[in-house]
Amino acid sequence: MKGKILKIHLIAAARPNFMKIAPLYHELKRREWADPMIVHTGQHYDLNMSDVFFKNFGLPESHIHLGVGSGTHAQQTGNVMIEYEKILFESPPDLVVVVGDVNSTVAATLAAVKLGVKVAHLEAGLRSFDRTMPEEINRLVTDAIADYLWTPSVDGNQNLENEGVSPEKITLVGNIMIDSFVMARKNIEMLDVYSGLGCKKGEFGLVTLHRPSNVDNGDGLARLCEHLVAISKKIPLIFPVHPRTLGKLKAFGIVSLNEAENIHLTDPLGYNDFMNLVFNSKLIITDSGGVQEETTYLKIPCITLRANTERPVTVTQGTNQLCKPEELCKKVDSILEGSFKKGSIPEFWDGKTAGRIADLIKTYKL
Ligand code: UD1
Ligand code: UDP
């Protein structure tokens, strides 16, 4: 007799979510007992913040689109809850998988858990211990109420246990972002995006910035841009600009980056194009969560413009270092002089996380 087919919602919302759901979608599609469906909340909606990733990862169009768009934290969280609850009433799945730490992650979790629908959190247990970060609030709430907690690294297990979570809810599954890279690697290696931007292999720096702590304050952002201009006199910089950052640069009237000869500003890039730049860069300056992990995997020197990180293994084991804006030029100089740590790859960052998760779901009583 044929067993039950599990209906599984994969919640995707913002740029860093697509590379977390893609490997799992493909893996579950291969299992005869699973019926994975992509639920896009619409938190990110520009072509190059959303659609491009569906193409990059060979995903079908989302099965359900909630169309919530931008807003304040409460608006965005509330609208996802209201819209997703309607779907849950109509046709509840057997399991909801939420990923990462964006507003849609906590919103979908709240809506589902209150209706008794089981929720698994992929990338559980990460903590920056900085509650001024909206993502830290999202992580804490999601992990407190989700049924299954899937961690990317052992520090995640430790944090959850320290918070009193019962160990049977927690499983170390590994880092799903590495699955995406392994999946796309051939296509990434075939490109040479840097040439099109007038740069040479291994002879440019790559920049991404979008955290409110770096870009939402006019004076702070202007100072940070001045540091980037100074660095660009030593090594050319490529900077794909996030829509939040573009909005802030315009609102504060900051033009120093546009005027710098050696800074190449671009729109946000698709995954393959962006990872081709990561792969071939000399160093990265970022405040992204995902980029800290990708550089650790690829052993590329990464300078993270933040006071803390929820991904400490990228610092203790990987090639990442935290940095204050005023220290940036010095840190870049020392990398250019050849001084940086080589790093190692954390356990279970091996491209096999989606397979481990599918095996695990099969053991749940859903
Ligand atoms: C969100 C996440 C953050 C994640 C980041 C990834 C939260 C609280 N923040 O931050 O954790 O690191 O995504 O990129 O969930 N905008 C566009 N087009 C889009 C999307 C956004 O123009 O497709 C602009 C809008 O003006 C919007 C602003 O960017 O107001 C910020 O978008 P939002 O999703 O609220 O936060 P992010 O800064 O993108
Ligand atoms: N990324 C991308 N194009 C870009 C910048 C980033 O494809 O122009 C990818 C990057 O490789 C990583 C993910 O987006 O996989 C990280 O997303 P982001 O920095 O927006 O969010 P965070 O990880 O900080 O939440």
Q: Give 253-306 pLDDT, tens digit per residue.
A: 999 999 999 999 999 999 999 999 999 999 999 999 999 999 999 999 999 999
* CA 84 – CA 206 distance, rounded (Å): 37
Q: In the prediction, which pLDDT does 3 show?
A: 83
Taking CA atoms only, the protein residue closest to ligand 1 atom 31 is 244
Q: pLDDT tens-digit profile of 71-90? A: 999 999 999 999 999 999 99
**pTM above 0.95?**
yes
Residue nearest (by alpha carbon) to ligand 1 atom 17: 243
By most ligand atoms within 8 Å of CB, the mutation choice from 15, 50, 75, 102 for ligand 1 is: 102
**Over residues 206-222, mean pLDDT:** 98
| Weakest mean pLDDT among 1-5, 73-77, 115-119, 120-124 | 1-5
Is 176 a pocket residue for ligand 2 (Cβ < 6 Å)?
A: no
DSSP code per residue over 118-166: -EEEETTT-----TTSHHHHHHHHHHHH-SEEEESSHHHHHHHHHTT--
33 alpha carbon – ligand 2 mean position (Å) = 32
Average pLDDT over residues 342-357: 97
Position 11 scores a pLDDT of 98
What integer pLDDT is reported at residue 236 of this predicted model?
98
Burial class (CB in 10 A: 0-12, 13-18, 19+), 4: exposed
Strands in the chain per DSSP E: 6-12, 34-40, 64-65, 95-99, 119-122, 148-151, 170-172, 205-208, 237-240, 263-266, 283-286, 302-304, 320-322
Domains of the chain: 6-175+349-363 (3.40.50.2000), 185-336 (3.40.50.2000)
Mean pLDDT along residues 313-334: 98
208 lines ligand 2 (CB under 6 A): yes
102 lines ligand 1 (CB under 6 A): yes
pLDDT in tens, 8-31: 999 999 999 999 999 999 999 999
pLDDT value for 123:
98
**pLDDT category of residue 2 using cuts at 50, 70 and 90:** low
**Catalytic machinery residues:** 210
Q: Is the per-residue pLDDT at 1 higher than 60?
A: no
pLDDT tops 80 at residue 364: yes
At residue 201 the predicted structure's pLDDT band, cuts being 50, 70 and 90, is very high
Mutate to test the pocket of ligand 1, among 11, 19, 44 (most ligand atoms within 8 A of CB): 44
Q: Which residues contact 99 (CB under 8 A, 6 or more apart)?
A: 10, 11, 12, 17, 20, 21, 105, 121, 122, 123, 176
Report how far ligand 1's centroid is from the alpha carbon of 10 (Å): 19
Q: What does the block give as tokens for 190?
A: 């075939």
Residue 318: name the closest of 338, 296, 340 by CA: 296
Q: Is the CB of 162 under 6 A from ligand 1?
A: no
pLDDT value at residue 22 = 98
Residue percentage of the chain with pLDDT more than 90? 99
pLDDT reported for residue 281: 98
* Ligand 2 contact, 289 CB (< 6 A): yes
C-alpha distances in Å from residue 97, one per residue of 112, 125, 281 = 10, 15, 34
Name residue 37's beta-bridge partners: 9
Q: Tell me, in angstroms, the distance from the centre of ligand 1 to residue 14's CA.
A: 7
Average pLDDT, the chain: 97
Determine whether the shortest distance from the Cβ of 56 to ligand 2 is under 6 A.
Answer: no
Question: Does the C-beta of 15 come closer than 6 Å to ligand 2?
Answer: yes
Question: Mutation test of ligand 2: which of 21, 207, 208 has the most ligand atoms closer than 8 Å to its C-beta?
Answer: 208
CA of 324 relative to ligand 1 center, distance in Å: 23
Model confidence over 141-190: pLDDT tens digits? Answer: 999 999 999 999 999 999 999 999 999 999 999 999 999 999 999 999 99
